[in-house]
């Protein structure tokens, strides 16, 4: 069962899944409770534009830009822009997300068509976890440290402001600043995870584990722990299953997540009828 460990690419893919699965699941607890699932989806899809802009800079000015850097920079810009619009305008968040999402993807597709590099879309949309190397693992490890560190340090502020921004403000918690940081954290997570699942499936890694955990948890603490365990289990199992059945890894991880969700829903339904 563990013969996959003898291949470098499988080892990297498995370790990558074990780092990113629980990290995204932890972040996802706050993303889903704040109703920002669509926000992470929008950032994932706008990665197309980040990659396209990196290539545009290379074509126009002959500067070699690492796609990771161009996607990260564009995601930060888009996340900051959306967070600013949430805060400063009367537009509803779903409206802001919808026009930022579709606008940026449309722009990315125009740039890609002009450059004639349609193959870029494949990598962005579906990802390729087997292309992971040691450098990617370092990026992912650093992301995990930042996400866990920040959410642990500011857990009270993020949880209370999820329940009531007013109560958080009265207690002297700087919610405006924290909201910007949270938006940037989602942007960084999406950028780092893009290689693993691609834009189409990435938000499953963030949204499904906390949604499943919420169904069975009896407290917030339990929800956080269950979400992390489901994220870890689904990512690890997905990679192993994809190796044994010779199917793409991303969909395998997402399907394991969905299976966990269905199991949790069944447990939830059984508890309600008992």
Partner 1 sequence: MQLEHVGVRYGKNWALQGVDLDIWRGDILAFIGPNGAGKSSLLRAILGLVPLAEGRIVLDSHSAPLRIGYVPQRLDFDTSFPITVSEFLTLNLPQQPLWTRGLKQHQRHLKRQALARLQCEHVFEQKLGALSGGQFQRVLLAAALLREPELLLLDEPASNIDRRGSEDLHQLLLQLHADLGLTLIFVSHDLHFVSHLATRVGCLNQSFCGLGPPSEILCEHFLAETYGSAFQPRQTHF
Q: According to CB under 8 A, which one of 18, 33, 137, 258 is a site residue for partner 1?
A: 33
Under the criterion CB under 8 A, does residue 219 sit at the interface with partner 1? yes
In sequence order, which residues have a C-beta less than 8 Å from that of residue 150 and are 6 or more positions away? 181, 185
- Minimum distance, C-beta of residue 148 to partner 1, in the bound complex (Å): 15
Contact segment (CB under 8 A) with partner 1 among 77-85, 105-113, 131-139, 161-169 equals: 161-169
Q: According to CB under 8 A, which one of 171, 177, 266, 267 is a site residue for partner 1?
A: 171
User: Hey, what's the torsion of the CAs at 190, 196, 9, 19, to 10 degrees?
Assistant: 60
Contact segment (CB under 8 A) with partner 1 among 37-45, 56-64, 91-99, 218-226 equals: 218-226
- Minimum distance, C-beta of residue 31 to partner 1, in the bound complex (Å): 13
Please, are residues 83 and 179 in contact by the beta-carbon 8 Å criterion?
Answer: yes
Under the criterion CB under 8 A, does residue 274 sit at the interface with partner 1? no
Query: Which is nearer to partner 1, 62 or 221 (by Cβ)?
Result: 221
Under the criterion CB under 8 A, does residue 91 sit at the interface with partner 1? no
Q: According to CB under 8 A, which one of 45, 139, 195, 214 is a site residue for partner 1?
A: 214
Q: Determine the Cα–Cα distance for residues 235 and 227; give it in Å rounded to an integer.
A: 12
Q: According to CB under 8 A, which one of 110, 222, 266, 271 is a site residue for partner 1?
A: 222
Q: According to CB under 8 A, which one of 19, 36, 96, 217 is a site residue for partner 1?
A: 217
Q: Determine the Cα–Cα distance for residues 205 and 220; give it in Å rounded to an integer.
A: 19
Under the criterion CB under 8 A, does residue 221 sit at the interface with partner 1? yes
Number of residues that bind partner 1 (CB under 8 A): 21
Query: Which is nearer to partner 1, 69 or 262 (by Cβ)?
Result: 262
Under the criterion CB under 8 A, does residue 154 sit at the interface with partner 1? no
Q: 92 to 131, contacts with partner 1 by CB under 8 A? A: none
Contact segment (CB under 8 A) with partner 1 among 60-68, 141-149, 153-161, 234-242 equals: 153-161
- Minimum distance, C-beta of residue 52 to partner 1, in the bound complex (Å): 36
Q: According to CB under 8 A, which one of 87, 92, 114, 156 is a site residue for partner 1?
A: 156
In sequence order, which residues have a C-beta less than 8 Å from that of residue 253 and are 6 or more positions away? 17, 21, 196, 197, 201, 204, 205, 234, 235, 238, 239, 242
Residues making contact with partner 1 (CB under 8 A): 33, 35, 156, 159-160, 162-164, 166-167, 169-171, 214, 217-223
């Amino acid at each position: 069962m563990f013969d996959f460990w003898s291949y470098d690419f499988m080892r990297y893919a498995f370790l990558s899944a074990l780092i990113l699965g629980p990290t995204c699941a932890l972040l996802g607890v706050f993303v889903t409770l704040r109703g920002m699932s669509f926000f992470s989806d929008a950032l994932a899809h706008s990665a197309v534009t980040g990659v396209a802009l990196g290539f545009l800079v290379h074509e126009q000015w002959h500067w070699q830009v690492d796609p990771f850097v161009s996607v990260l920079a564009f995601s930060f810009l888009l996340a900051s822009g959306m967070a600013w619009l949430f805060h400063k305008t009367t537009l509803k968040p779903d409206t802001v997300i919808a026009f930022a999402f579709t606008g940026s993807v449309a722009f990315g597709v125009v740039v890609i068509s002009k450059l004639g590099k349609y193959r870029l879309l494949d990598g962005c949309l579906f990802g390729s976890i087997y292309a992971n190397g040691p450098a990617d693992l370092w990026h992912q490890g650093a992301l995990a440290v930042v996400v866990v560190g920040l959410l642990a340090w500011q857990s009270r502020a993020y949880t209370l402001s999820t329940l009531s921004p007013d109560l958080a403000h009265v207690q002297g918690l700087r919610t405006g600043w924290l909201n910007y940081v949270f938006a940037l954290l989602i942007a960084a997570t999406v950028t780092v995870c893009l290689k693993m699942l691609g834009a189409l499936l990435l938000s499953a890694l963030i949204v499904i584990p906390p949604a499943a955990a919420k169904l069975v948890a009896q407290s917030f603490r339990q929800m956080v722990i269950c979400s992390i365990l489901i994220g870890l289990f689904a990512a690890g199992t997905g990679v192993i299953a994809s190796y044994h059945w010779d199917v793409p890894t991303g969909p395998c991880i997402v399907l394991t997540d969905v299976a966990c969700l269905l199991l949790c829903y069944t447990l939830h339904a059984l508890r309600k009828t008992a």
